[in-house]
Chain A
Amino acid sequence: MSDGPVTRITKLFEQLRRQERRGLIAYLTAGDPEPDRTPELVAALERGGADLIELGMPFSDPIADGPVIQRASERALRAGMTLPRLLEIARAIRRRSEIPLLLFSYLNPVLRYGLEALARDAAAAGLDGCLLTDLSVEEAHAYVGAMRRHNLDTVFLAAPTSTPRRLALVAKYSTGFVYLVSRTGVTGERDSLSEAVAPLVRAMRAVTDLPLAVGFGISRPEHVAQVGALAEAVVVGSAFVHLIERNRDNASLEIQLEALARELKHGFVRQPV
């Protein structure tokens, strides 16, 4: 294992290992449709069985995201979402929950806030780590240093295009878990699981003992079942965000979100197809 901090994230994966369970990681765009509603949406996901929440900081130019998260980002920014508001949301969640929280952001809002200031304030707000979509390990020296000083996990992405040399670098700088991008492409729901997943999991296992989570394009219980046979956790984003988009004016949104989380989580007990 890498010599990382002890966080709610590392404790979660330790617990999953002991209980021989797989984890469901839920992404949502913080502030969509309104910043004040995000803590309730997170609570619904937790009731439905989500084990870890990725709080997405919306960005004006989300180059790694498909249309669903692009639209969510636009809504959240129009509703006044900022990084300070995201930290407030994290504090609100923390007042009543110990669910692990990972900040998910593009680099520029974080640079603007300041790496050291963000690490300090994120730790104080009860966040457990951070993943920056467009920050590669080569450019991450100062960032990793700041996060370590405040005992926060740094999760990096690995992709089907990553060479063995790059996978080793990703393993070296990641703590908590490694996020495997299931396919070349942007975020969004897909009909089937990418065939790139199994080889990527094998290649990553060869260079790390860290838990692995697989995301991008995973939206159905059968995908969850397939990933569950390979990796410690699965990340679902667009399917939740899409549900929020369609039901944002609907009083039953939280109930539906909880139900979707439960349905997806149930995928882990199915036999993989």
Chain B
Amino acid sequence: MTAETEVCGRFGPYGGRFVPEVLMAPLEELEQAYLEARQDPSFQAELRQLLRDYAGRPTPLYFARRLSAELGGARIYFKREDLLHTGAHKINNCLGQVLLARRMGKRRVIAETGAGQHGVATATVCALFGLECVVYMGEEDMRRQRLNVFRMRLLGARVIGVGTGSRTLKDAISEAMRDWVTNVADTHYLLGSALGAHPYPTMVRDFQRVIGEETREQILAAEGRLPDAIFACVGGGSNAIGIFHAFLGDAGVRLVGVEAGGCGPELGQHAARFAGGAPGVLHGSYSYLLQDADGQVARTHSVSAGLDYALVGPEHAWLHDQGRAEYVAASDEEALEAARLLARTEGLIPALEAAHAVAEAVRRAPAAHQQVFIVNLSGRGDKDMDIYRERFRELDV
């Protein structure tokens, strides 16, 4: 089973290609280049080698003995994407797309970033291939992810602050799209999540599928069976779709996407698109969108910059409607507490994004005796130390 309709980039009714005409032909060209690269053994071989030797794949599947014992229910495993070079799963997609950009003869790469993980991964692969790199980042996100801004600059990228709108990921994507509209001839837009116009949701998903493919083999080796549930945080949803995909045909495996519940249920206080949104179009794709009664895109809030976005990736919308995956929300407080618990019991400090997935697994584990859970630990928490310090003041004396 696959959720995708490749021909027109649709997942059921979702996805598509809703962009100004200027970008339509370049997207067709990108789709064509991607389809050719996907069939090209030398492209795949080079990507595999980079993922292994440069990024650090395969990543381990780690059994969390102390956390499982403390919760007293499910046996909890973590897929350790946090161990990858640059600290998150984002590098998987960046390596794939930078090879594609080189193949297409583009000499300049642009990207948006929320938490900064995708920006850092993009800056990294551009340094690796000697390409010019420009990263757009909301000014609010630059403030809360200062360390990543510096990392990108150290890697030779230019970071451009975006001061319009909510000054977060949404506005960074808008500004990156304006750059792309202007410089499309020599520029590749290295979109960081399973969002945007076709072919991005399919292409990014494909570059992240390796997470689930490895996980499937690893859990079969460790437990001799498939897991009962898999948890992943969902902003745009690339780490989630990456780990879910290898299990879509396994009806007994519950797939749980965790959105940002933020600080409350009112529009503007969270980024829980399935709970509070309705289908709409933003940044080229049709999916669940947080919007007001007049179709204006709503403000969002999350302690985690990487989940703080108004539209969910379109394949998740389709998995949701089909009932193949379920989507829940974890609040800022729940994510922070889960991060603290994981740090104390396992010596793992997760990125705030991944902490949302941890929170949902922690909530369900005590009642899940004899069950096997897998959490995609999509990133590590180094970048979030300022926020953890601010939120755990009692430790910072």
A-B contact pairs, 13 of them (CB 8 A): A63-B174, A70-B164, A74-B164, A111-B281, A112-B294, A133-B20, A136-B17, A159-B21, A161-B23, A161-B26, A161-B184, A185-B182, A186-B182
Q: Min CB distance, A91 to chain B, in Å? A: 18
Q: Contacts A61-B282, A138-B8, A161-B26 hold; do A185 and B20 have CB atoms under 8 A apart?
A: no
Per-residue CB contact flags for chain B residues 171-184 toward chain A (1 = under 8 Å, else 0) read: 10010011001111
Q: Which of B22, B164, B280 contacts A111 (CB 8 A)?
A: B280
Q: Is A97 an interface residue (CB 8 A)?
A: no
Q: Which of B164, B171, B281 contacts A108 (CB 8 A)?
A: B281
A side interface size, CB within 8 A:
39
Inter-subunit contact A61/B21 (CB<8 Å): no
Q: Does A170 contact B (CB under 8 A)?
A: yes
Q: Are A156 and B280 in contact (CB under 8 A)?
A: no
Q: Distance (Å) between the CB of A204 and the closest chain B CB?
A: 12
- Known contacts: A108-B289, A139-B16. The answer to whether A63 contacts B281 by CB under 8 A is no
A4 CB-CB contact with B under 8 Å = no
Contact residues of A between 224 and 264, Cβ < 8 Å to B: none
Asked if B24 and A162 sit within 8 Å, CB to CB, the answer is: yes
* Residues on the B chain within 8 Å of A108, using CB: 280-282, 289, 291, 295-297
Q: Mark B44-73, 1 if CB is under 8 A from A, else 0.
A: 000000000000000000000000000000
B156: Cβ under 8 A from any A Cβ? no
Q: B284 contacts which of A66, A134, A163 (Cβ < 8 Å)?
A: A134
In the A-B complex, list the 3 residue pairs whose CB atoms are closest, starting with the nearest.
A112-B295, A109-B295, A157-B21
A47 CB, min distance to chain B CBs, angstroms: 31
Chain B positions 141-196 with a Cβ under 8 Å from a chain A Cβ: 164-165, 170-171, 174, 177-178, 181-185
Whether, in the assembled complex, B324 has its beta carbon less than 8 Å from a beta carbon of chain A, the answer is: no
Contacts of B280 in A (CB 8 A): 108, 111-112
Complex: A184 Cα to B180 Cα, angstroms: 9
Q: Is B25 an interface residue (CB 8 A)?
A: yes
Closest-by-CB residue of A relative to B170 is A61
Whether A64 sits at the interface, judged by CB under 8 Å, is yes
Find out whether the CB atom of A64 lies under 8 angstroms from the CB atom of B295: no
B216 within 8 A of A: no
**Complex alpha-carbon distance, A62 and B181, angstroms:** 12
Q: Nearest A residue to B9 by beta-carbon distance?
A: A138
In the complex the two chains form, is A134's CB within 8 Å of B296's CB? no
Contact A83 B295 (CB under 8 A): yes
Q: Does A120 contact B (CB under 8 A)?
A: no
Give the complex CA separation of A138 and B19 in angstroms: 11
Question: Is A268 among interface residues, defined by CB-CB distance under 8 A?
Answer: no
Closest CB of chain A to B251's CB: distance in Å?
33
Min CB–CB distance A50 → chain B (angstroms): 24
**Number of cross-chain contacts by CB at 8 Å:** 113
Q: Which residues of A contact B17 (CB under 8 A)?
A: 136, 138-139
Binding site for B on A (CB under 8 A): 59-64, 66, 70, 74, 77, 82-83, 107-113, 133-136, 138-139, 156-163, 166, 170, 181, 184-186
Q: Is the interface of B mostly helix, strand, loop or mixed?
A: mixed
A219 to B128, CA, bound (A): 43
Beta-carbon contact of B181 and A184 below 8 Å: yes
Q: Is the CB of A170 within 8 A of B297?
A: no
B22–A60 touching, CB < 8 Å: no
- Which A residues lie within 8 Å of B8 (CB)? 138
Alpha-carbon gap, A19 to B152, bound state (A): 59
Complex alpha-carbon distance, A62 and B164, angstroms: 11
- B182 near A63 with CB under 8 A, answer no
- Do A134 and B24 touch across chains, with their CB atoms under 8 A apart? no
Q: Is the CB of A162 within 8 A of B21?
A: yes
When chains A and B are docked, how far (Å) is the Cα of A107 from the Cα of B22? 16
Asked if B43 lies at the interface with its beta carbon under 8 angstroms from chain A, I say: no
Residue interface bits B271-288, CB-to-A below 8 A is 1, else 0:
000000000111110000
- Across the interface, do B21 and A185 meet the contact criterion of CB distance under 8 Å? no
Chain A's closest residue to B280 (CB) is: A108
- In the complex, A59 Cα to B20 Cα: how many Å? 14
Looking at B22, B164, B178, B280, the one whose CB has the most chain A CB atoms below 10 A away is B22
- What's the minimum C-beta distance from B316 to chain A, rounded to whole angstroms? 19
How far, in whole Å, are A167 and B8 apart by their CA atoms in the complex?
Answer: 19
B18 beta carbon closer than 8 Å to chain A: yes
Q: CB < 8 Å: which of B21, B26, B28, B283 contacts A63?
A: B283
Least distance between A264 CB and chain B CB atoms (Å): 24
Asked if B221 is an interface residue, CB under 8 A from chain A, the answer is no
Whole-angstrom distance between the Cβ of A237 and the nearest chain B Cβ: 14
Q: Which residues of A contact B182 (CB under 8 A)?
A: 184-186
Closest to B175 in A: A63
Q: In chain A, what residue has the closest Cβ to B183?
A: A184
CB distance from A51 to the nearest CB of B (A): 23
Q: Is the CB of B295 within 8 A of A111?
A: yes
A213 to B284, CA, bound (A): 25
Having A63-B20, A181-B22, A186-B178, one finds 9 other A-B pairs with CB under 8 Å, namely A60-B165, A108-B282, A108-B291, A112-B291, A112-B295, A136-B19, A136-B24, A138-B17, A162-B24
Which of A64, A133, A134 has most chain B Cβ within 10 Å? A134
Residue in B closest to A84 when the chains form the complex, CB atoms? B294
- Least CB distance from A59 to B in Å reads 7
For A185, the chain B residues whose CB sits under 8 A away are 22, 181-182
- B293 contacts A by Cβ under 8 Å: yes
Decide if A61 touches B22 in the complex (CB within 8 Å). no
Contact A107 B281 (CB under 8 A): yes
**How far is B218's CA from A135's CA once the two chains are assembled, in angstroms?**
44
Q: Bound state CA distance, A215 and B283, in angstroms?
A: 22
The answer to whether A170 and B21 have CB atoms under 8 Å apart is yes
Give min CB distance, B87 to chain A, whole Å.
Answer: 29
- Kindly provide the distance from the CB of B258 to the nearest chain A CB, expressed in whole angstroms: 25
